Structure 1
Amino acid sequence: MSALLCSHPLNRTMDSEPIPSFPREAFRRQDETPDAQFYHFPRFVTHIDEGAIAAVTQLYRDYLPAGGVLLDLMSSWVSHLPAEIAYSRVVGLGMNEQELRANPRLADYVVQDLNQNPQLPFESAAFDGTMICVSIDYLTKPVEVLR
């Protein structure tokens, strides 16, 4: 359903470790149409129901540091962050600029197709926490992105 990555000192040593090899078919999708075509028009929808949103919000409440700088990967018009918690800065990375611009929690955003370019455009250790909600299964290079 969702993935949450929290910054941890051990993660900083992963750059030197080899990326595991997976067969090319491991990350094939049923629809291999370029993502840019699908995300050309904004889709102001939630992809999960109220119960799932509440669970994701609680997960964020429990694990993301209040006052921290956060990265919302594969972001959209909503981030599901707890309304009562203030964060220093939230940066979104997603595919549709209109959706990102409409997200009230984002201070900044980057439009990028992680399937075309899995390298994040941020310095190492720039964030106190990172989250991906209901979109990790769309990545064709998830290992590279998560590294």
Structure 2
Amino acid sequence: MEYYRAIVQYQFNKLKLIREGIYPECGGNIEVELYTFFILCYHLKDWIINENPECKSLIEVKVNKFIKESSVLKICDQICQTIKHRKLTAKQWKYSTPINFKLSSVMTIGPPGMMSEASLKNAQITTERGEECCFSLAEECMNEWNRYFLENGINNL
């Protein structure tokens, strides 16, 4: 699980650089970087569940309960399901009902360098909580998983 947690942290660190106005080394597609973070972040649950095969079903119940009670991790789930299925039915939502998911177009292709403030402001998503900044949402997700690890006695990276 530590390996996967490190991958999620790595992707989150890339978002912090993007928010500071620096393109990631691999290019400047902000939308893909955001989607990648939310997919990796949500699927951290699978690594937690499968970490200890002897307690898998107990851990699965605990993790799913944690996500169901977390508004931000439910949104993370909704982003992942939207990316995977494009058009969703109510039964594809594991933790809540469908929301109006929309990520403003923030595709920015170009050489590494500084990104405009306007591009950053467009990284908005409409959720059940209203209009939100994707970068702030990503930070909330990281804080929520850290809370899970702390509450369950799992060492931080």
| Greater C-alpha radius of gyration | 2
Q: Between Structure 1 and Structure 2, which shows a larger proportion of helix residues?
A: 2
TM-score in same-fold range (> 0.5): no
Task: Give the TM-score normalised by structure 1.
Answer: 0.31
Task: Give the TM-score normalised by structure 2.
Answer: 0.30
